[in-house]
Amino acid sequence: MIYLRRLTGVIIAVMMLVRSVLAQEELDMAKIRSLLALGEYSEAAVLLEVAVKKEPSRYEYQLYLGNAYFAGNKLDKAIERYKLSLRLNSGAKEAAINLATAYSAKGLHAEAIEQYLTLLKDFGENPDIRYNLALAYRFSGDLKMAEKNIQSAIDQRPNDAEFINLLGELQVVTGRLDEAEKSYIKAIRVNPADGLSRVSLARLYFQQNDYRRAEEEAKIAAVMDSRLSSVHELLGDIYQAKGDNDLAIYEYNTAFSRNPGNPALLMNLGGVYEALKRFQDAKKYYLMAVEKKPASLEFRLKLSGLLIKMSSLFEARDILKEALDANAKNVQLLDMLGAVYMRLRNFEKSEYYLQEALKINPDFQKARMDLGLLMFEQGKYSSAESLLEEVRKTGFVSYELNLYLGRINLRKKNNDKALDFFKELVDMAPDLLESHLWVGRANEALLKPLEAESAFLRGIRVDSTNPDAYFEAADYYFRNRIVNKYPQCVGFYQKTLDMDSKYPKRDYIIENISIIEGKVKRIERVKTEKEIDADKKEQKRKSSLSPTD
């Protein structure tokens, strides 16, 4: 999201306007400009704070300090200084514009809208203010007023590609994709060098799964303006969708190098690594994103989901609890906390958070499902099945829902029904080892040895770097006493230990290998004894025959 593309430039202009005023003071303007250019906003602010203390009644000083705070992303402090500047000089247009800009950047859309309307009233029509007012309405959710104001801006300046591009974005949000495409193409025609409009058009094609045209437009945009972060982010999205993860990582890294302040790019990188099952790398990028934007619940939920996959449950719990004070009514957060506590076997707290989520939204099916899973873990199988079936009838689709309904039916010896649920798991997640293991177990219960063996071996193919895959296949052979597969069984057990010398079931594996070796020796001994007996019988038979004349 690119917010306030136009009026933020006024802030830099204001810095130049007040230069002559500040140059008359003892303040080292050259040093301040150097600090700002280097992005050392805090140090620049310290020097400006000295000037403000000396002459607090100078509105220019308050304004300039607000600009330093704004550039350093200290929006609350910037807003405070702009308000002070306006109290000292109500006609300070620059301070009024910058206050509206800061409100918008802070996400205070109602305040931003009010300030922009005041600007229009006090200083007259201005297409740039209309543009930013349209943005404020858009992000406040009032799309009708957003479109009305951007249309007003276009009427005043019909050949502004940025205005037309925003109209296209609003048309996308309201589902008018054909109109949006025409708007983007018009914006490109008005300004062929405008990379942003090409990125918007490429994004539209990407949303329509037209990866070829999306990639073509994005590459043109990248050539036209290689500094754009958004085009490389989009190319990363395209390559990830196409399954080319190496290129996706390259593009996301390129985007981040052009916009290192954007934590969403770190989340994108983490997402690619998570898809590659490189969980430690994914965790590193998610943590960096959360560190940059600790208030983002979306980031915390994503990180916690990964930590749950990694079985880092206490870490996931702590990440979620840090967000609880500011998001006490968020059902997703409450539900995930309930799910984490369930895995930690703290059933009392798990039920508390799940019930809290359902108090806020009784129709939140994910929380209802997790409550059913909790009942299963507590051994309340009938209650769990009843609730999970109710959730399923609502049309809610979830891997875990099918998994637990399958497990319940497997416990009840409804093996055919269980197998149907587990087969759906394979359809949902064909690259997930667990899906194939449960299909194997259901076929094993149905006394279908060939189908069961096939499922366990598929598990090895889809997750060949996971020692669990080899252990499960080996254990299938062992517990079913498939003698002719003992060599493969020992091989798979040994592979498990080779991949993880501290495998949790190491002692069990070593004992089973010893049992198999003992059985094989007995089989060979019996076989040898039988062969000896057979030879003796043959010799006896031959010796009993009378010699022929």
The pLDDT assigned to 22 comes to 44
10 Å Cβ neighbour count for 252?
26
Q: What whole-number distance in Å separates Cα of residue 251 and Cα of residue 265?
A: 10
User: Which distant-in-sequence residues (6+ apart) come within 8 Å of 217 by Cβ?
Assistant: 198, 199, 201, 202, 205
The separation between the first and the last C-alpha atoms of the chain, rounded to the nearest angstrom, is 108
pTM score > 0.85 for this model? no
User: Which distant-in-sequence residues (6+ apart) come within 8 Å of 77 by Cβ?
Assistant: 66, 69
Report the range of poorest mean pLDDT among 103-112, 354-363, 433-442.
Answer: 103-112
At 535-544, the pLDDT tens digits run 666 666 666 6
CA-angle at 447, arms to 446 and 448, nearest 5°: 90
Q: What whole-number distance in Å separates Cα of residue 12 and Cα of residue 70?
A: 11
Report the range of poorest mean pLDDT among 51-55, 70-74, 500-504.
Answer: 51-55
Please indicate whether residue 528 or residue 293 has the higher confidence score (pLDDT).
293
Task: With cut-offs at 50, 70 and 90, classify the pLDDT of residue 76.
Answer: confident
Q: What whole-number distance in Å separates Cα of residue 62 and Cα of residue 48?
A: 9
% of the chain with per-residue pLDDT over 70 = 84
The dihedrals phi and psi of 26, each to the nearest 5 degrees, come to -75, -5
* Alpha helix segments (H runs only) across 323-380: 331-343, 347-360, 365-377
User: Which 3 state secondary structure label does DSSP give 63?
Assistant: helix
At 347-371, the pLDDT tens digits run 999 999 999 999 999 999 999 999 9
Burial class from Cβ neighbours inside 10 Å (0-12, 13-18, 19+) for residue 91 reads exposed
User: Which distant-in-sequence residues (6+ apart) come within 8 Å of 199 by Cβ?
Assistant: 217, 218, 221, 228, 230, 231, 234
Rg (alpha carbons) of the chain, rounded to whole number = 34
10 Å Cβ neighbour count for 94?
23
The dihedrals phi and psi of 293, each to the nearest 5 degrees, come to -135, 70
**Residue among 66, 126, 128 nearest 92 (CA):** 66
Question: Which amino acid is present at 33?
Answer: R
207 has pLDDT over 50: yes
Report the range of poorest mean pLDDT among 34-48, 133-147, 161-175.
Answer: 34-48
**Residue 516 to residues 54, 167, 169, 471, Cα–Cα distance (Å):** 88, 72, 67, 15
449 has pLDDT over 90: yes
User: Which distant-in-sequence residues (6+ apart) come within 8 Å of 359 by Cβ?
Assistant: none
> In the CATH hierarchy, which fold is given to the domain comprising 1-123?
1.25.40
User: Which 3 state secondary structure label does DSSP give 98?
Assistant: helix
The pLDDT assigned to 398 comes to 93
CA-angle at 233, arms to 272 and 299, nearest 5°: 55
At 282-333, the pLDDT tens digits run 999 999 999 888 888 889 999 999 999 999 999 999 999 988 888 888 999 9
